[in-house]
Structure 1
Amino acid sequence: MNPNPLFPTKDTLGINTDLYELTMAAAYFQAGCAERRATFELFTRKLPAQRSFLVAAGLEQALHYILNVTFSDRTLDFLQSLPNFERVDPKFFDYLRKFRFSGDVFALPEGTVCFGQEPLLQVSGPVIESQILETFLINTLNFQTTVASKASRLCLAAGNRGVMDFGTRRAHSPQAGVEAARAAFIGGCQGTSNVLAGFEMGIPVVGTMAHSFVQFFEDEAEAFARYQAAFPEHTTFLVDTYDTLKGVEKAAKLGGKMVGVRLDSGNLHELAVKAREILDRHDRTDVHIFASGNLDEGKIQGLTLADVPINAFGAGTDLVVSSDAPSCDMVYKLVEVFETGVPEPRMKTSQAKVTTPFRKQVFRRLAAGGFDGDLICRCDEEPPAAGEYQPLLKQYLRAGELCEILPDVESIRTYAQEQLALLPSAYKLLHSSEEYPVEFSRELIQARESLQRKL
């Protein structure tokens, strides 16, 4: 048989999900509930242990999915062949054949700084339509938010020095590599090694050379000369294939234009200082030093605080898999069901997993030029009269149609930087002990307590 790339296609979007989304959909259908409206919210109950804030990302890809998810004849034939669906009414598959999302979607704009319990996305529509979306939405927003949040920490640690995404080869799939490049750029990275990300989104594409290029030639100096001949205006030499400082010396003596040298191993502090001395001695004061090699925010911050002469950093594995906090543990929970147009509350009451009913709005309090706490209210509540409050959730889909112009990724990145500038410094420390204040309104607390007594 021919190799299968396993890349999702429009033909398979509907079944790119967990089985239980479809078994629940079938059960809703057979119970006569197909058109009953319900609202689900996507959020994380609490921040990962190493995080004091998150940067929301992934909404554009989530909306693309919602607007395009369908079930083809081929995928419906497969579903009908599964033992789980053996006794399901054939009319359910006719329903899926005509499937199109017809509900409403509200969300935080991408790049918004957010916290535990705050909805990143809300889906309100016929219960089957809203339920089927769960797996893809969690996957997309959880992953990109995780990477964007990690990127923001790396960039905060670097101060005014640039950070580049070098993580595609270590991402969990080629698709993850592209999405990670997008999320990393939103979080503050200045560029990516992922060429497809540059093609699709206009993200600056960066890169140097691999050790294999240097090894291919008999002599390191020849490898440098050959590379410079091919890229006379954009030459950055990887100098640690053999002896790092001898590599810097050879690059410095080569002549011609050179953008920088890259250090990819060893004691980066010591090597950067000595590399700078060598470059300056050869009147190469304009040549930058670029550092990479298993860097995380702690290592980057250490080099930055020591004022080591490194101009920019490349982050790979630690960025795209967010090694210290690889998931935001997002959930997608039912919060209300509509009876004759009136929302009836729904919540989960199991220990440590209690949820809060009703669709919500998040109001952010602004004071002294920065964020001063968030208040989660019912969606139809007004914020308190005292103080300046900003509503965060916006509507993006109305009756299954896009109703908000989506920004490009550069604009999202700018917005994220504006958000981070307004976040008080205490929450931007790598090891912050401060917890940003997030509260529920009195009305929501009363609704939750009232429903708990009934259940």
Structure 2
Amino acid sequence: MNNKRNLSLLSDFYEFTMANGYFNNGMKDTVAIFDAFYRNNPDGGGYSIFAGLNDIIDYVKNLSFSASDIEYLRKEGNFSEDFLEYLKDFKFTGDIWAYPEGSVIFPNEPIVTVKAPIIECSILETYLLLSMNFNSLIATKTSRIVKAAGNRLVMEFGARRAQGADASLTGARAAYIAGAPVTSNTLSAKTYGFKPAGTMAHSWIQAFDSEYEAFKTYALSYPENCILLIDTYDTINSGLPNAMRIFKEILEPRGLSGGVRIDSGDLAYLSKEIRKILDENGFKDAKIVASNSLDEFKIISLLNQGAEIDSFGIGERLITSKSDPVFGGVYKLVGIYDDDKLISKIKVSENVEKITTPGFKNVYRLYDKKTGKAEADYISLREEEMDDSKPLVIFDPLFTWKMKKMDNYKARLMQEKIFENGKLIYEEPSLDEIAKYCKSELDSMWEEVKRFDTPHNYYVDLSQDLWNLKQNLILEAKKGI
């Protein structure tokens, strides 16, 4: 999608002023390493879902500056002509590693790592983060909603409440990855190749002389997908009787069954009454669909009240992640090369959670061989060897006396190489494959990690060598203060 328009200037302006500064101070070829990670799970959850890699790939593949881009920068007056000449032939030449889309991810581990000349690293920052942040936010929210819904279908209905056209398109894709296989967004369904769906608006019913005529016309047009919106006038006393009349007159002679949708009122009470009346009248196969500003918290409440709902249409609270709408991913310098020697870098802060983890790193997920469940993530320096045939002692990076011995485990390297010397070497999976992988990732997590209330704190630990490097750099940064 992104290769149809030039997004190369979609970057914070200081990325270009810094790039100009690097260029004019002889650092054009200085290679750096940046990590993209996040600090907290949305909604106080125990995990997140990574999405947006496809947009990052498209952006990097097509990253170049047009004559009009360069002329715009020239008019801003902050850039040397030599730098602007450099941009004429600009392309990404470095390496990128990333978790596969659909991966379960945790705070403070490098999800995407970029190794490239520092100018290229800088220009990538904004788009890489906006893609990771938004798509991961929506995938994570959807995952929570799907979990709350149990085995009931979740449909993404958020296009009209999304924060712009791009959000509506990519948000529906992110929702698909995390378990919402249907969208109301026709263009997103066409673009990404999955199923669109919709029933009717209240305006359809109002447009006819009677609710019955509106239902009848719709049922004759779409007998095999007949979900009738029954809350325009009176859900129980008008909408439902008219719907059952249509089921009897039009659908049953064709061997078909239909359903009803409720979009207002007390959904728990109404759904129970509707189910009771449908069953009493012989329509046990008729489905009940609910919508109206739902999210995981409202769904849990409804189901705890015994609501009889077969599927949910989720709009604004999914596509905007309304309860916690900022993912908070960041992109930090963790190393810079002096010739061929890597000099690890750290950001130190009075706020402990903002202290970065330095160096060029690997992330391994450690699975218990007996249960197949993920037990911890282990971050090490790239030069360290991981041998999962040997016991491993892991420890909490902050409370180092908290230790655990792993001795019957399998270690999986989480990042895969996406670009090498500027060339895409990663074979992108299909959207269905990503969604299937996401489900398998969630299945590998203990339920305690996925629960909504006080989820288990999943362990993300550092190797001893990486922990030592981090502590030494903190002490070095504090010298002389």
TM over 0.5: yes
Match of 2:359 in 1: 358
Conserved 8 A contact 1:335-1:345: yes
How far has the Cα of 1:299 moved from its partner?
A: 1.5
How far has the Cα of 1:453 moved from its partner?
A: 2.5
Residues 10 and 99 (structure 1 numbering): CA distance in 2 closer, same or farther, change over 3 Å? farther
Cα deviations by residue, 1:369-388 (Å, 9 ceiling, x for unpaired): 21111111112322353232
Give the alignment of 1:72-91 within 5 angstroms: 72-83=66-77, 85=78, 88-91=79-82
2:8 match: secondary structure: helix
Cα deviations by residue, 1:343-398 (Å, 9 ceiling, x for unpaired): 11011012222111112111111112211111111123223532321111110111
Counterpart Cα distance in 1 of 2:186 and 2:381? 43
Conserved 8 A contact 1:16-1:136: yes
- 1:125 correspondence with 2:116: yes
Match of 1:61 in 2: 55
Counterpart Cα distance in 1 of 2:150 and 2:343? 49
Counterpart Cα distance in 2 of 1:110 and 1:230? 39
2:44 match: secondary structure: coil
Give the alignment of 1:367-446 within 5 angstroms: 367=368, 368-383=371-386, 385-386=390-391, 387-446=409-468
**Letter of the 2:210 counterpart:** D
How far has the Cα of 1:329 moved from its partner?
A: 0.6
2:225 match: secondary structure: coil
Cα deviations by residue, 1:217-263 (Å, 9 ceiling, x for unpaired): 12111111111222122111111111111201101101223431111
Moved over 6 A (4+): none
Which of 243, 247, 252 aligns to 2:244? It is 252
How far has the Cα of 1:183 moved from its partner?
A: 0.6
Match of 2:32 in 1: 38
Counterpart Cα distance in 2 of 1:61 and 1:127? 21
Match of 2:100 in 1: 109
Match of 1:21 in 2: 15
Conserved 8 A contact 2:2-2:59: no
How far has the Cα of 1:11 moved from its partner?
A: 5.4
How far has the Cα of 1:12 moved from its partner?
A: 3.5
Conserved 8 A contact 1:50-1:325: no
TM-score normalised per structure 2: 0.90
- Greater alpha carbon shift after TM alignment, 108-117 vs 281-290: 281-290
Cα deviations by residue, 1:88-134 (Å, 9 ceiling, x for unpaired): 32011111111110110100001110100011111111111111010
Counterpart Cα distance in 1 of 2:135 and 2:173? 8
How far has the Cα of 1:165 moved from its partner?
A: 0.4
Conserved 8 A contact 2:3-2:62: no
Match of 1:196 in 2: 187
**Letter of the 2:164 counterpart:** S
Match of 2:170 in 1: 179
**Letter of the 2:182 counterpart:** G
How far has the Cα of 1:328 moved from its partner?
A: 1.6
Residues 10 and 288 (structure 1 numbering): CA distance in 2 closer, same or farther, change over 3 Å? closer
How far has the Cα of 1:339 moved from its partner?
A: 1.6
Counterpart Cα distance in 2 of 1:242 and 1:155? 31
Counterpart Cα distance in 1 of 2:232 and 2:440? 40
1:101 match: secondary structure: coil
Counterpart Cα distance in 1 of 2:367 and 2:145? 26
Counterpart Cα distance in 1 of 2:434 and 2:207? 42
Counterpart Cα distance in 1 of 2:211 and 2:43? 45
**Letter of the 2:147 counterpart:** L
2:35 match: secondary structure: strand
- Greater alpha carbon shift after TM alignment, 230-239 vs 20-29: 230-239
Counterpart Cα distance in 1 of 2:48 and 2:260? 33
1:93 match: secondary structure: helix
Q: Which runs of 5+ in 1 are unaligned?
A: 1-6
Conserved 8 A contact 2:31-2:115: yes
How far has the Cα of 1:49 moved from its partner?
A: 4.8
Which of 130, 134, 140 aligns to 1:143? It is 134
**Letter of the 1:90 counterpart:** E
Conserved 8 A contact 1:288-1:311: yes
Match of 1:337 in 2: 336
How far has the Cα of 1:307 moved from its partner?
A: 4.2
Conserved 8 A contact 2:103-2:438: yes
Match of 2:405 in 1: none
**Letter of the 2:242 counterpart:** K
**Letter of the 1:214 counterpart:** I
How far has the Cα of 1:278 moved from its partner?
A: 2.5
1:336 match: secondary structure: strand
TM-score normalised per structure 1: 0.95
1:223 match: secondary structure: helix
How far has the Cα of 1:48 moved from its partner?
A: 3.5
